[in-house]
Amino acid sequence: MTVAAHAHELIGLFPPATRCDGDGTLMLGGCRLDDVAEEFGTPAIVVSEDALRQRARDYLAAFRTRWPRSDVAFASKSFPCTAVQQVMVEEGLHIDVAGGGEILTAIKAGADPARLVLHGNAKSDEELELAVGRGVGLVVVDNFDDIDRLERIVPAGRRQPCLVRVIPGVEAATHASQATGHAGSKFGLMPDDAREAIKRIDRSAKMRLDGVHTHVGSQLLNVEQLAQAVEPIAKLGTFEVYDLGGGLGVRYTYDEHPPTLDEYAHAMVTQANALLPEGSRIIVEPGRSMVANSACTLYRITTVKRGVVTHVAVDGGMGDNLEVSLTGQRFEATIVNRVGGGETVSVVGRHCESGDQLVDGVALREPAVGDLLAVPVTGAYCYTMSNQYNGARRVPVVFTRDGDARLVVRRDTWDDLLMRDVD
């Protein structure tokens, strides 16, 4: 592959409208990435705000043109940044929250609590009290203990709207840690238990059953597997709401070719038309496929060590991207001002773990200490799982749009590393 062809393919992994400036430097949201690094430092997660907004609009259009009574709930665990949640709220999406902290950030972002969907396989009393107290619109009942807790927590005279999460029995073709719809999953209830949960909620004076929920897994590249989850919940009865979950995969590497959003929406709505009651409301909960391609992460190369393997070490790693270590996810990378082509190297992080490897076997052109490195498709789960391993300071998030870069999450300070200590 020529340098030009490789550069073209690489740029295709970055957010739409990413391009190179006249001197070959990558630009995202109209901003040169070297200027972003100069202003905000590295590592940093850089987001194209336009890409984020357009994806939200595309999701709404893809489903509402096919099923008018459909809603899109952003799975905020994928990028639980208040500024990202705010974009989703402004674009008309509901918010799927997976714990008390996400309830609070979503509300701070301007979300109407009635448009929140609370998940969790081990909800605490504190989280359910927060959800009920703040008026969360839907609580997804994952187990019988959720029912017991809600019966105790919901005040007399009120009824909490609920969905029952159902295990669809679909073996997802994804990493084991990202599969959720198989028999034996820790999430949800098998159909017979789900029927019993439905009966209990129907008898409750403090809960209102709005419908059922299911989810197959994450990073799925086969829409037919996602669509298979519709039939098991359709068999449970007629409800107002059918929440079909999320899970659509994204393109991280040159070899991956995930379904398009239109292909996904067509497959899901075709099943809904065949199996669900006309006029019912469906919800989908995209996370990874909503945000992954909206961002890249910037690093500064600190060391180039040549030997049996050429190790290119950067100033981040496991502290800002755990996806490689946890799921074996493959990423690509490029020097910011020399895009495409080059020698094959291993990009490694700064953390004291041999497993702290960002990208193995990637082509970089003349990598040198001080160069800027960009890793695309880091909008999902990288911020979510950022940490302070080896005393690392958690990275900032920068939004770019129309040539303007603005900080939406600051970098940790050294004092932040000590602030929870009790003298």
Reported as a single tens digit per residue, the pLDDT across 165-207 is: 999 876 665 655 554 666 777 888 999 999 999 999 999 999 9
Q: Are 36 and 299 in contact (CB under 8 A)?
A: no
Token pair of 420 as six digits: 């929870």
Q: Is 254 annotated as a binding residue?
A: no
Q: Is 247 annotated as a binding residue?
A: yes
How buried is residue 422: exposed, middle or buried, by Cβ count under 10 Å (0-12/13-18/19+)? exposed
Q: Are 150 and 209 in contact (CB under 8 A)?
A: no
pLDDT of residue 171: 67
Helices assigned H by DSSP within 28-170:
33-40, 49-64, 82-90, 100-108, 125-134, 144-153
Residues whose CB is less than 8 angstroms from the CB of residue 418 and which lie 6 or more positions away in sequence, other chains included:
none
Backbone angles phi, psi at 220, to 5 degrees: -95, 130
User: What whole-number distance in Å separates Cα of residue 347 and Cα of residue 356?
Assistant: 9
352 noted as active-site residue:
yes
Q: Is 349 annotated as a binding residue?
A: no
Residues whose CB is less than 8 angstroms from the CB of residue 157 and which lie 6 or more positions away in sequence, other chains included:
none
pLDDT of residue 3: 84
User: What whole-number distance in Å separates Cα of residue 194 and Cα of residue 190?
Assistant: 6
* Bridge partner residues of 67 (DSSP): none
| Omega within 30 of 0 (cis) for the link into 277 | no
Q: Is 101 annotated as a binding residue?
A: no
Q: Is 389 annotated as a binding residue?
A: no
pLDDT of residue 54: 98
Q: Which of 31, 162, 352, 382 is catalytic?
A: 352
pLDDT of residue 92: 98
Token pair of 409 as six digits: 């999450």
pLDDT of residue 38: 98
Reduced DSSP (H G I as helix, E B as strand, rest coil) percent helix, strand, coil of the chain, to 5: 30, 25, 45
CA 376 vs CA 254, 298, 399: distances in Å:
12, 9, 15
User: What whole-number distance in Å separates Cα of residue 180 and Cα of residue 252?
Assistant: 21
Residue 268 amino acid letter = M
pLDDT of residue 349: 97
Positions of the chain with pLDDT lower than 50, given as ranges: 179
Q: Which of 304, 263, 212, 254 is nearest to 62 (CA)?
A: 263
3-state secondary structure of 361: strand
